[in-house]
Amino acid sequence: MRYKRPRGTQDILPDQVSEWRLAEETFRRIANDFGYSEIRTPIFEETDLFVRSVGAETDIVAKEMYTFSDRGGRSLTLRPEGTAPVVRAFLENNLQGTDPGRVVKLFYIAPVFRYDRPQAGRYRQHHQAGIEALGSASPALDAEVMHLAWLFYSALGLEQVDLLLNSVGCTVCRPVYVERLRAYLAGHARALCDDCRRRYEANPLRILDCKNPACRQVTADAPMMLDVLCDDCARHFAEVRKVLETIGITYQVDPRIVRGLDYYTKTAFEFVGKGLGAQDALGGGGRYDGLVEACGGPPTPGVGLGIGLERVLLARQALGLSVGAPARRGVFVIGLGEAAAQWAIAFLARLRAAGVRADLDYRFRSLRAQMRHADAMGFRYAAIAGDEELSRGEVTVRDLETATQESLPTEGAIEYLSSMSRREHCGGNAHG
Ligand code: HAM
């Protein structure tokens, strides 16, 4: 019996890990530089948290959650997104303390689970790098969130990313808009796809981002949220645009950006990559000023974003970008002969204890085979000794980069190699 990974999941293999680490470390560095602290929440939460926050009528909650009962009969759900768990942790751990005006800025890198139809760029387990800023209604903070993502994509070499911006209004103006939209769509119900006919009652806003050409034609002349915004939302939207322009971030206003989660208010945005096919959203987010309250907390505004790391790495791949080979580093120990094999094991242990990257070939193959292996594994030096050489108290140290070698006394070799290795570390590649 051969087992397979579950459909829609991926193994991240050793030769792919350097790309993941680059993305994760870049995100961590930028988020830290922007004043965000890392948070790690459980992989599963009470189901009701997502129903209440993401919304019972959304595709995520209605069709895509991995929900199960534990042995105590509790309904739990694998995290289908990162915002609600952060809000739950913010409240449960009283991260705001006693100052209700304090802005709490958090980031996470975490697996997310959605029972979606798998295809290129769409998985049942994906990873999101996200940030959440809680406690401020300032439009400048909305712009900060977008700026962070913008710098992240650019640091990874993704320059062809469009920022699509919209406002989805608030509890005052959105109901007015939804009624106007329904009234308009009522005359076109027959032209809509089956999904959108269902959305008409429960979630008509989602009809605006349906990709079906017939639905797009219907909504081309539909009233748009931006025309119905209340004064407060219109002012906020104008201010966000102004700050983006001040920072120098280009964007397009796109009234079809409505997002697939119900908690958004005012700002909603998506980053879209070029040449990625249907799954081209590299990240998305927005403001959610009612979410903390919906989760049982005091009125607290918030804004955030989630970036799909698989899609970011696919975009890099499409551009032919990849992490270069790491700099050569460390020592491969080769003992040729019975006594030399024992020496090699002890020498290896001493190198490792001294903090040097080091390994040996436990098959003790021929010199040629071991040298080839050392080269392929990216070692800088090979420390080679045969029985006869050892009896003279000598070891050969070969520099695989310069293809030069010298004979050293076995005793001094550890010190020499560990001092060379410290030097490699100073000038070396962080992703080795
Ligand atoms: P979302 O738009 O549902 O937002 O997901 C964020 C990003 O995750 C998407 O733009 C996409 O890059 C990636 N993504 C989503 N679903 C999949 C999938 N099935 N396979 C691969 N990648 C996927 C949220 O989840 C919000 N929590 C974002 C947020 C944070 N809003 C405010 N704060």
The CATH number covering residue 360 comes to: 3.40.50.800
**pLDDT value of position 427:** 52
Residue at which a domain ends, from 318, 340, 360? 318
Residue at which a domain ends, from 259, 294, 318? 318
Residue 113 has pLDDT above 50, yes or no: yes
Contacts of 4 (CB under 8 A, 6+ apart): none
- 400 found inside a domain: yes
Closest CA to 141 of 111, 101, 181: 101
For 126-164, what is each residue's pLDDT tens digit?
999 999 999 999 999 999 999 999 999 999 999 999 999
283: CA distance to ligand 1 center in Å? 6
Residue 343 has pLDDT above 50, yes or no: yes
Mean pLDDT over residues 213-240, rounded?
Answer: 96
Ligand 1, atom 26: nearest CA belongs to which residue? Answer: 306
Contact assessment for residue 119 and residue 79, using Cβ atoms and an 8 Å cutoff: no
For a pLDDT cut of 70, what percent of the chain falls above it? 98
Residue 431 has pLDDT above 70, yes or no: no
Mean pLDDT over residues 401-420, rounded?
Answer: 94
Contacts of 108 (CB under 8 A, 6+ apart): 38, 39, 40, 41, 82, 86, 128, 129, 130, 131
Query: Domain of 358?
Result: 331-425
Residue at which a domain ends, from 318, 339, 372? 318
Same domain, 46 and 132: yes
Same domain, 378 and 270: no
Same domain, 23 and 83: yes
**For residue 82, which atom of ligand 1 is closest to its CA?**
27
**Which CATH number characterizes residue 65's domain?**
3.30.930.10
Residue 432 has pLDDT above 60, yes or no: no
Contact assessment for residue 371 and residue 334, using Cβ atoms and an 8 Å cutoff: yes
Residue 430: pLDDT band by 50, 70, 90 thresholds?
very low
80: CA distance to ligand 1 center in Å? 9
Same domain, 28 and 131: yes
Mean pLDDT over residues 255-268, rounded?
Answer: 96
**pLDDT value of position 202:** 85
206: CA distance to ligand 1 center in Å? 16
58: CA distance to ligand 1 center in Å? 14
**pLDDT value of position 133:** 98
**pLDDT value of position 145:** 98
**pLDDT value of position 428:** 45
Q: Which amino acid, residue 169?
A: G
**pLDDT value of position 201:** 87
Number of structural domains the chain divides into:
2
311: CA distance to ligand 1 center in Å? 10
Residue 429 has pLDDT above 50, yes or no: no
- 260 found inside a domain: yes
For 30-40, what is each residue's pLDDT tens digit?
999 999 999 99
| Contact residues of ligand 1, CB 6 A cut-off | 81-83, 114, 116, 121-123, 126, 128, 130, 132, 260-261, 281-286, 304-306, 308, 310-311
Q: Distance between CA 17 and CA 27 in Å, rounded?
A: 15
Ligand 1, atom 8: nearest CA belongs to which residue? Answer: 308
Mean pLDDT over residues 91-110, rounded?
Answer: 95
